[in-house]
A and B are shown apart, each in its own frame.
Chain A
Amino acid sequence: MELFTPDFGLIFWMFVSVAILLFILYKWGWPVILKSIENRADLIDKGVEYAQNAKEQLMHAQEQSDKYLAEARRQQAEMLREADKMKNQIIEDARSAAQKEAQKVMDAAKLAIEQERKEAQLQFRNEVSSFALDIAAKVVRDQLRDEEAQTKLVGTLLDEMEKQN
């Protein structure tokens, strides 16, 4: 039963060849492969992590952008409101300025009119007084045609003057 009694030649060759095989593979074989497999596993792990991070960041960015968008809308509304307010203000200002100007112009006009009126009054008065003098002169000339009347007048005038003094 040679199957159960180990054969020397086979043991010898088995020992020698497996020892050589082990040496070769220990030095140049398996370490390279195992290192490469582990490197690749690390790379894949890193890739997955990176992808997850990127996905998270993307979601985050979406949120961020939504926030920014809302903010921008709010700001826009604010600005519109502000602008509206400013517009009204400007209109109001313009209106009041115009009013003031108009007032000024009207005041000036009033003053001018007053002056004009006074001047006209003065002129009128002068004219009226000259008319009156003319009329009075004419009347006096008519009344003082006789001597008597003249002396009487002079007499009254002198009385008056005396009274006054």
Chain B
Amino acid sequence: MVSPVVMHASSSESHEEAGKIDPKEIIFEHLGDGYGWEVPFNHHVRIPLPVILIGKDGFHCFLSSRIDHGQEYNDGGAIFKIAGKDSKYKGKIVQVMEDGSEYKPWDISITKNVCALFIAILLLLWSVWDVARWYKRNGNKAPRKITGAIEALIAFIYDGVIKPTLGDRSRKFAPFLLTVFFLILYLNLLGLLVIFPGGANVTGNIAVTLVLSIFTFLATNLFGTKHYWKEIFWPDVPLWLKFPIPIMPLIELFGVFTKPAALTVRLFANMLGGHMIVIVLTLLIFIFAVMGPAVTGGASVVSVLFSVFMILIDVLVSFIQAYVFTMLSTLFISFGQERGHDEHHKADEPQSASTSPALTNK
């Protein structure tokens, strides 16, 4: 169901290059961000999205349709266009100065990814509102249908991940962790849809995963206990390891930053990989197209079957990645919540048991 649309979109793209296929170009165009939103079966029309720029002469706001297909747009004296292939700002909107040079303004446009993010956020707000409303209306009855499914997911994360790890601190951090889980899950699943309102590779974009893990970083360190900081700057190791050269403190401090970095990269890489495989499988058809109809036909069948298979795997991966991100965030936050040695041991054992399989997986 999904692959033919991908196929068509990429086929029309390939025609642009006068028969010559540049797989890298196509892959990165599909995985990257964009100022408009593609529609299926038509490469020339895009859903226009607002472009917001803070240029040298102030604020500019217009629709992305004005600068489609390399057009230049004059907004109150300032000329904007999407930078060409040979520019160092390739694919971004630049302001064309009077001397012909390109200047990159501060760009806070509602791009395809930002729009997809908004859609996921609205979806999440609706989900939470829907479940909360159920309780207001029906008291202690168990919800049914979609509300029940969302509630089951909430209970799965809250009772399965957050409570066993954070214990009595669950209530404090659960809102953040649940929000992160559902946001990633919705973004992942929306990304698998090929047409609007999906198709944007949001969680496969490093900016998005970076911001998410910065939130985890803040939650870990802003609410860190005294014991947590002591463990970093004055850990329980032989004295020569921390004085006069602070070897262990340096390593620990390094760990504080590598944890969110790992979070950033693993979600980004996993989601990017899933999308990339599907596109590459589809592109195979066009790469084989030069070898005659028989080969192309065979390749099409195989590619479509593989694409469908990969998309189904990606549905699973979408869930697993959201789950793993939440689980690791919970774990990192729980490191910041360590309280003394007695509790430390009690809390640590089940944690390490639950992490190890996930860490070895990816």
Contacts and interface: CB of A to CB of B under 8 A. Distances in A.
B98 to A, nearest CB: 25
A118 B322 CA distance: 137
Contacts of A29: 125, 128-129, 132, 175, 179
Contacts of B111: 9-10
Contact of B206 (A6, A9, A36): A6
Nearest to A24: B125
A14 B128 contact: no
B223 interface: no
Contacts of A2: 28, 32-33, 91-92
A6 B211 CA distance: 10
A124 interface: no
Contacts of B31: 3
Interface string B119-143: 0010011001101100110001010
Interface in A7-48: 7-15, 17-18, 21-22, 24-26, 28-34, 36-37, 39-40, 43
B154 interface: yes
Nearest to B208: A14
Interface residues of A, number: 34
A11 B179 contact: no
Given A30-B174, A36-B135, A22 B179 contact: yes
Contacts of B183: 18, 21
A13 B151 contact: no
B117 A33 contact: no
Interface in B170-185: 171, 174-176, 178-179, 183
A26 B125 CA distance: 12
A17 B108 CA distance: 13
Contacts of A31: 171, 175
A8 B179 contact: no
Contact of A6 (B109, B118, B151, B207): B207
Contacts of A1: 28
A9 to B, nearest CB: 5
A35 to B, nearest CB: 8
Report, as a range, how many residues of chain B touch the other chain: 35 or more
A18 B108 CA distance: 15
B136 to A, nearest CB: 8
Contacts of B211: 11, 14-15, 18
Contacts of B206: 3-6
A25 B207 contact: no
A106 to B, nearest CB: 93
A37 B154 contact: yes
B154 A33 contact: yes
Given A9-B109, A17-B118, A37-B158, A3 B175 contact: no
Contacts of B205: 3, 6-7, 10
Nearest to A4: B206
Given A9-B109, A33-B151, A25 B91 contact: no
Contacts of A30: 128, 174-175, 178-179
Given A17-B121, A21-B183, A10 B131 contact: no
What 10 pairs between A and B have smallest CB-CB spacing?
A: A6-B207, A36-B135, A30-B175, A14-B211, A10-B207, A29-B128, A26-B175, A13-B114, A32-B132, A9-B108
12 contacts: A2-B28, A3-B204, A8-B107, A14-B207, A22-B175, A22-B179, A24-B125, A26-B176, A29-B179, A34-B171, A34-B174, A37-B155
Interface of B: 28, 31-33, 91-92, 106-111, 113-114, 117-118, 121, 124-125, 128-129, 131-132, 135-136, 140, 142, 151, 154-155, 158, 171, 174-176, 178-179, 183, 204-208, 210-212, 215, 272
